[in-house]
Structure 1
Amino acid sequence: MQQELKLRIISGVILAIIVLAVTWYGGFAFRLLSAVIALLIYYEWSTITRLQTEQPVANVAGWVGQAAIAAAILLGRFDFALSLLVFFFAIAVGFVAAQSASRWFPAGIVYAGLTGIALAEIRGGDAAGLQAMLFVFAVVWATDILAYFVGRAVGGPKLAPRISPGKTQSGAFGGAVSAVIAGSVIAYFFIPEADWLMAAAVAFILSVCSQAGDLFESFIKRRFGVKDSSHLIPGHGGVMDRVDGLIFACFAAFLLATLFSLIKGDGMAPLGAALFGF
């Protein structure tokens, strides 16, 4: 067990360094990272839900859709990528209506495609995007790490025993508190113009969504009887195992930033700045 934890920590640190370096660099490098993550998520989703073996025609359509969305992300055409996501989601729903694919097919299109779009759009190409992405990472990582250690140290009632027996209410609370602290620290040092109350509120929302994303992936794996989404990352399993919380947090950040931008009348451009009310 100690050896497994050591491997998990080492691979986690290496991945964090790579991701932070690419995030700092931004531009095409981060869009490429976002596209690759989305493609790997679709690969793992289609494997877990058995689309590859049980619905090969639908799965090919899914890969065509994900490849098109990834290409739009690489070109920086986020509006076009969203349009493609809607288009291929409609096609996926058509497969389900024709009873030639399961309901997990359209869900996979959205889950993977929106992940890549949200990541790339939040980061964007400006300083506000870098600040927003660092904020999201800090909140999600603080939630994940402290929820694990607080849950093990304190124990107590289970959070969702039927879905993930190892998660506790104390861990969820500890993760949320640590996320608010981490978000506030990032806001203090990297986003001096931020509204601190807004930053703390956003951190709490993203932490809750991150934990919901973790539970969602646990539900999917339990539903299909698999332990890990794949074996791509030593000590962590697959990409979905590593970014399950990040996925839902990015969905929430993307939606919140879009909502705040529209309320302020700024449109879709300043997503990073919109998260913090400056």
Structure 2
Amino acid sequence: MNTELQRRIVSGLVLAVVVLAATWYGGFSFRIAAAVATVLIYYEWSTITRLGERDFRANAFGWVSILLMAYNIAFGEKEFAVPLLGGAAITAILLVLWRKGSWWLPGGIVYAGLSGTSLAAIRGEDQAGFVATLFIFAVVWATDIFAYFVGRALQGPKLAPRISPGKTWSGAIGGTVSGVVASSALTLAVFSRLSFWTVAIAFLLSVTSQVGDLFESFIKRRFGVKDSSHLIPGHGGVMDRVDGLVFACFAAFLLTLVYSASTGHLDMSVAGFLFGF
């Protein structure tokens, strides 16, 4: 076994243990993890897109916004998360229009800020939030792993050759089926029942996670970089590891907000939305 593979395995195991431990304990531990992820994702986004080189003052605003959001995720009230994110994004858009700046600024604020906000909102403080987080992990991890192996085994037409030449339609379909099966198995194990609603949501989240993967590949190809950073030995950066996860979390969080607002159940949790209770 070569040194690079050893580093990849060790760092992957350490990362998995940290993430799962934070998810298990929940509460402040998970909020801290989500806040740290928010900051690291914005760091990688701003580095890849060269925001600091394009406009130092605009990037400084982005950093202030992200640090405020990270502080609120870790120590603040969850009711302020969406207004804070929305306010920062709107202000960034106005700055871009006023100064003819880069649209990567509001994009980075939304991408990084929504990553931490949605992760913290999904986990919440109770057991239902723990199961909801595991449900999304099951969807994303099974999709990612089996998309790779099925795609390698079956090959076939490329999914998006200009963005990510290695991805195939066979891999995408195999990954989606696996994501639905894994999350359905988890749901049955916990609740001893499974609804069509939960299966449909799992399907949607699996597709969304693959869109997230392609989105990050597009950004890296656009700016000519191989990895989002070198923060994780053998794996690249945080964005490289959570690209599919954050898009799945975006979808689960935003769909819950829309559904709860449209039905009048304003206190609905993401777990309630996922499992229909």
TM-score bucket (shorter structure): over 0.9
Aligned residue runs from structure 1 range 54-65, under 5 A: 54-65=54-65
- Long gaps (5+) in structure 2: none
**Matched AA of 2:232:** I
Displacement, 1:86?
1.2
Aligned partners of 2:23 and 2:93: how far apart in 1? Answer: 34
Counterpart residue number, 2:116: 116
Q: Which region of structure 1 is more displaced relative to structure 2, 21-30 or 195-204? A: 195-204
Distance 1:99 1:155 in 2: 47
2:199 counterpart of 1:200: yes
Please, what is the CA RMSD of the aligned residues? 1.7
Distance 1:64 1:268 in 2: 30
Paired residue type of 2:266? G
CA contact (8 A) 1:256 1:275 kept: no
- Identify the residue that residue 131 of structure 2 maps to in structure 1: 131
TM-score by length of 2: 0.95
Question: 5+ residue gaps in structure 1?
Answer: none
1:18-70 Cα distance to aligned partner (Å, 9 max, x none): 11111010001101111110110000000000012221111100010001111
Aligned mates of 2:22, 2:191 — CA distance in 1: 20
In structure 2, the partner of 1:13 is 13
Q: Distance in 1 between matches of 2:222 and 2:191?
A: 41
CA contact (8 A) 1:39 1:66 kept: yes
Quickly say closer, same or farther: Cα 1:140–1:190, change in 2 above 3 A: same
Segment of structure 1 superposing worse, 90-99 or 1-10: 1-10
Asked if the contact 2:188–2:194 (Cα under 8 Å) also holds between the matched residues in 1, the reply is no
Structure 1 vs Structure 2: percent identity of aligned residues? 60
> Distance in 2 between the 1:251 and 1:210 partners?
9
Structure 1 stretch displaced more, 183-192 or 125-134 = 183-192
**Offset of 1:184 from its aligned partner?**
0.6
Q: How does 1:59-74 map to 2 (within 5 A)?
A: 59-74=59-74
Shift of 1:252: 0.6
Residue of structure 1 in register with 2:237 after alignment: 238
Runs of 4+, deviation exceeding 4 Å? 1-6
Aligned partners of 1:158 and 1:99: how far apart in 2?
Answer: 40
1:32-43 aligned within 5 A:
32-43=32-43
Please say if residues 260 and 275 of structure 1, whose CA atoms lie closer than 8 Å, have aligned partners that are also in contact: no
In structure 2, C-alpha distance between the alignment counterparts of 1:128 and 1:221, rounded to whole Å:
36
Name the amino acid aligned to 1:186: L
Tell whether the 8 Å contact from 2:256 to 2:268 is kept in structure 1 after alignment: no
The equivalent residue for 2:169 is 169
Question: C-alpha distance in 2, partners of 1:247/1:232?
Answer: 18
Alignment match, 1:83: 83
**Alignment partners' CA distance in 2, 1:242 and 1:79:** 28
Paired amino acid for 1:132? A
Number of aligned residues? 277
- In 2, Cα distance between equivalents of 1:9 and 1:200: 32
Bigger shift: residues 71-80 or 200-209: 71-80
Q: Equivalent residue for 1:252?
A: 251
Instruction: State the Cα distance separating 1:84 from its structure 2 match.
Output: 1.1
Tell me how far 1:264 sits from its aligned partner: 4.6
Return closer, same or farther for 1:148/1:110 CA change in 2, 3 Å cut-off. same
